[in-house]
Structure 1
Amino acid sequence: MLVYESKLKGTKEQYGRLDEAIRTALFVRNACIRSWMDGESKSRNDTYKYCKVLADNPEFPWAKRLNSQARQASAERAWASINRFFDNCKKQIPGRKGFPKFKKNHPNHGSVEYKQSGYKLSDDRKYITFTDGFEAGLFRLWGTRDLHYYQLNQIKRVRVVRRADGYYAQFLIDHNRVEKREPTNTTIGLDVGLNHFYTDNNGETVDNPTYLRKSERKLKRLQKRVSKKFKKGKPQSNNYKKAKQRLATKHLQVSRQRKDFAVKTALCVVRSNDLVAYEDLKVKNMVRNHRLAKSISDVSWTMFREWIEYFGKVYGVVTVAVPPHNTSQDCSNCGKKVIKSLSTRTHKCPHCGYVADRDENAARNILELGLRTVGHISCQNLEAINLQN
């Protein structure tokens, strides 16, 4: 499944109608969750039926204006959050299990999703018209993606996303992306960190861009303007809304910079190696350290790992996540454990005399564990084939 995104160019009145559609989709989602909490909806089909009840209810005339399949998509989102909660309970995940919550309408967030109806693309694929009851009308698609490469029946869904800098249309295309790549006969082990974004088993490093730290001064200044213009207990002025919009746009810019760096770095790593081994880090637990939480969130290790796994499937490269236990403590030369604190940045083994950077030593251990895991998987597959024969 591919996701192509284009910005929607329209009038202020049209954007207001899109806001109504997004707010209605949010209302349907929250209503489905309330129906589940009250015991009325016990399955996904029950939430579909409840969408019909909402549309026929005279107390909610706006619900009928939303496309029927868009209402079903909102019900699917509600049931996905419910199903995720049940899965976390079955897996006995420690801490909070993610009980479904009601979402609020935010001016810089939100989306509405259409399936096969409720919209129409122009013949040249440069314009889209929304035809549901809100009558948002014709929008120009502004972007670099060309939809002519795919048939209309391959576009399974169209999602309208609201962000701080405008409205976007995301096209979910049914296409299996496979890219060809020449084998490089090289393997790599990655140890991510805060001093460097990652260090590989050869000692090569990539600097941490720290986009949030670099933009922190401007973010504080924009936040200060928002606080000055806020009036407690009174209607907020247009200057307050404009200041809040500038702050949200800056945060969006930082998140886009972080994503762009993660995507390009992951693509370079995958295309340059035949096997990529990395740590299976529990970032959710690591950010509980309040001294390092901001820095850990800024480096976006989870996003980097997700893109490595995605590009690994696209280019046919083996990606292995290994447990991080003792990868920094064990000596990659002799295997003996050498206890080190977090401030010790050089690995010095008293048993074999091996000296290396702490992160390089960890990367070599990660690569070795990754190669062991791949070999174990290959043996299991071979045994399964022999049993079948």
Structure 2
Amino acid sequence: MLVLEYKVKGKQDQYNAIDDAIRTTQFIRNKVIRYWMDAPRELKIDKFSLNKYSTELRQEFSFAAELNSMAVQSAAERGWSAISRFYNNCQSNKSGKKGFPRFQKNCRSVEYKTSGWKLHKTKRRITFTDKKGIGELKLLGKWDIQSYELKDIKRVRLIRRADGYYAQFCVSIDVVDIQPKTGNEIGLDVGIESFYTDSNGHHEPNPQFLRKAEKSIKHSQRRIYKKRKGSSGRKKARKLYAKKHLKGRGEAFAYKNYATNRQLNSANASPVRQRIEHAKKIARNVCKSNDLVAYEDLRVSNMVKNHCLAKSISDASWYLFRQWIEYFAVKFDKITIAVAPHYTSQKCSSCGVIVKKSLSTRTHNCVCGCELHRDTNAAINILNLAKNRGGHPQINATGVGISTLVGDSARSWGFPP
């Protein structure tokens, strides 16, 4: 699947209509969650029963009937996505919290399927034909949706972010860009001191976007509380604060990407969504110049439980970088292998002896005479494990999850995001 995203331009009453459609989506999702919670145990609730219940909601509430029937169905599928995720976590005995479905308080998107919208013949405008009153919106972007057939567009989503409203088109087409083989192989060791260190000894600098913007973000946050509640000044301060977070987080603007069950992660240059743009650029270069990319199979969700390192790990975006590596590996027909991280920093890459060292020790010194930077030694070990098939191929055939690639908290495209 290919996702094209455009910024949309309309009038204020149209934006208000989009907000109304988003609130209706949130209402439908929360109602089906409540229906599942209140259902007796002997009654089996599945995706189809929730879709049927959403039809009953359209008959009961007039504002729900104004939304396109497939958009209502899509909202119910979001509720089922949360329920099925909870069931899967319970069945797999996932440690910690199982993700019991919760009511959504700040939905930021509404999703249409194959009806409720109509593209202009120039494909530079889109008209929403349900009774919410959104009407015709202008599409701002440079992507070539004109080259695709209407029948290939399976989903259309409207997203509200801090800097405006966006439209995403999910096109049923595979993107493949076979790159020539280079014969190169590389091992990557991600870190905090450097974004990553490879087996060739290269240290990619860590941009630390959050650390650099932290002072400005905190200043804008303090300005919110200096304004009176309910005032226009407070609303402006909140909007400025949201834009600062949006810049560092990495949202989407007209970027091609695979569609998945997660958030769509993508980026563009204005404003620069820094974190994703950086991870995307680095991952693309790595996959384009190497036939095999090896990396550690890290459990980042467990590592961020360390409150001393959580902010630095999140700022480095290790898992995001891995997602983009797997995405471009599929696109370029390259191989990625995730290896177990055990003892990659302690083991000597030359003789295999375990050399114990603390985190503060940045140089690897072995009795065999091997002297390397700690991270370079680890990257070589990672590559050796991959070449010895110590790891297993991690080809992400569905690509990177959706952010939205975004201020959007939308969970999925419903392709079981």
Q: TM-score range by the shorter chain?
A: over 0.9
2-structure distance, mates of 1:338, 1:200: 20
Offset, 1:164? 0.5
Matched, 1:363 2:357: no
Code of the residue aligned with 1:214 in structure 2: it is K
Change (3 A) 1:227 1:268: same
Residue 116 of structure 2 is matched in structure 1 by 118
Distance 2:389 2:136 in 1: 53
Deviations 1:218-259 (A, max 9, x none): 11110110121154xxxx111101100000011001112000
Task: Tell me, in whole angstroms, the C-alpha distance in 2 between the residues paired with 1:330 and 1:320.
Answer: 19
- Matched ranges for 1:272-351 at <5 A: 272-350=289-367
In 2, distance between residues paired with 1:132 and 1:275? 49
Instruction: Give the Cα–Cα distance (whole angstroms) in 1 for the partners of residues 365 and 178 of structure 2.
Output: 42
1:36-56: CA deviation from partner (whole Å, max 9, x where unpaired): 111166010000100111011
Which consecutive unaligned segments of at least 5 residues does structure 2 have?
250-272, 394-417
Query: Are the aligned partners of 2:338 and 2:392 in contact in 1 as well (CA < 8 Å)?
Result: no
Residue matched to 1:46: 49
Question: Structure 2: which amino acid aligns with 1:85?
Answer: F
Q: Check whether the contact 1:320–1:374 (CA below 8 A) recurs between aligned residues.
A: no
Q: Distance in 1 between matches of 2:390 and 2:95?
A: 30
Distance in 1 (alpha carbons) for counterparts of 2:310 and 2:216: 20
Please give the secondary structure, in 2, of the residue aligned with 1:361: helix
* C-alpha displacement of 1:213: 1.0
Distance (Å, rounded) in 1 between the aligned partners of 2:144 and 2:197: 37
Aligned length: 367
Distance 1:376 1:128 in 2: 45
More helix by share: 1
Poorly superposed stretches of 4+, deviation over 3 Å: 374-377
- CA separation of 1:82/1:375 partners in 2, compared to 1, >3 Å: closer, same or farther? closer
Distance 2:49 2:38 in 1: 13
What is the CA-CA distance between 1:349 and the residue it aligns to? Answer: 1.1
8 Å contact 2:337–2:392 — kept in the other structure?
no
- 1:251-290, aligned counterparts within 5 Å? 251-255=245-249, 256-290=273-307
CA deviation string 1:326-380 (max 9, x = no partner): 1101111111111110100000112x12110000000001001111228988xxx
1: CA distance between counterparts of 2:88 and 2:342? 26
Alignment-mate amino acid for residue 311 of structure 1: F
1:83 aligns with 2:84: yes
Q: TM-score, normalised by structure 2?
A: 0.86
Conserved? CA contact 1:32–1:41, under 8 Å: no
What is the identity, as a one-letter code, of the residue corresponding to 1:74? A
Which AA in structure 2 matches 1:22? I
Deviations 1:108-135 (A, max 9, x none): x510100000110000110001111102
SS for the counterpart of 2:226 is helix
Q: Secondary structure at the match of 2:80?
A: helix
Q: Secondary structure at the match of 2:157?
A: strand
1:302-345 per-residue CA deviation (whole Å, 9 max, x = no partner) reads 11100110110111000011111111011111111111101000
Q: Structure 2: which amino acid aligns with 1:294?
A: K
Aligned match for 2:192, one of 177, 181, 194: 194
Deviation at 1:32, TM superposition (A): 0.7
Give the one of 194, 207, 210 matched to 2:208: 210
User: Which residue number in structure 1 is paired with residue 404 of structure 2?
Assistant: none
**Residue type matched to 1:163 in 2?**
R
Give the counterpart of 1:354 among 370, 374, 387: 370
Is the 1:222–1:247 contact (alpha carbons within 8 Å) kept by the matching residues of 2? Answer: yes
Q: Is the 8 A contact 1:328 1:362 kept in 2?
A: yes
What whole-Å deviation, never above 9, does each CA across 1:176-233 have from its counterpart, x for those lacking one?
11102111000000000000000000101110011111111211110110121154xx
Q: 1:180 aligns with which of 162, 168, 178?
A: 178
Secondary structure class of the residue paired with 1:33: helix
CA contact (8 A) 2:340 2:391 kept: no
After TM superposition, the score normalised by the length of structure 1 is 0.92
Which residue in the other structure is 1:385 paired with? none
Work out which of the two has the higher radius of gyration on C-alpha atoms and give 1 or 2. Answer: 1
Alpha-carbon distance in structure 2 between the residues aligned to 1:376 and 1:61: 53
Correspondent of 1:159 among 140, 157, 160 = 157
> CA–CA distance in 2 between the matches of 1:15 and 1:228?
28
Query: Are the aligned partners of 2:363 and 2:373 in contact in 1 as well (CA < 8 Å)?
Result: yes
Q: Whole-Å Cα distance in 2 between the matches of residues 376 and 210 of structure 1?
A: 31
Q: CA RMSD in A?
A: 1.3
Residues in 1 aligned to 2:389 and 2:224: alpha-carbon distance in whole angstroms: 52
In 2: Cα distance, 1:124 partner to 1:10 partner? 17
How far, CA to CA, are the matches of 1:73 and 1:119 in structure 2?
14
Taking the aligned partners of 1:289 and 1:375, their CA distance within structure 2 comes to 26
Name the structure, 1 or 2, with higher relative contact order (CA <8 Å, separation 6+). Answer: 2
Paired with 1:162 and 1:149, the residues of 2 have a C-alpha distance of: 26
* 1:44 aligned partner, one-letter code: K
Unpaired runs of at least 5, structure 1 = 378-389
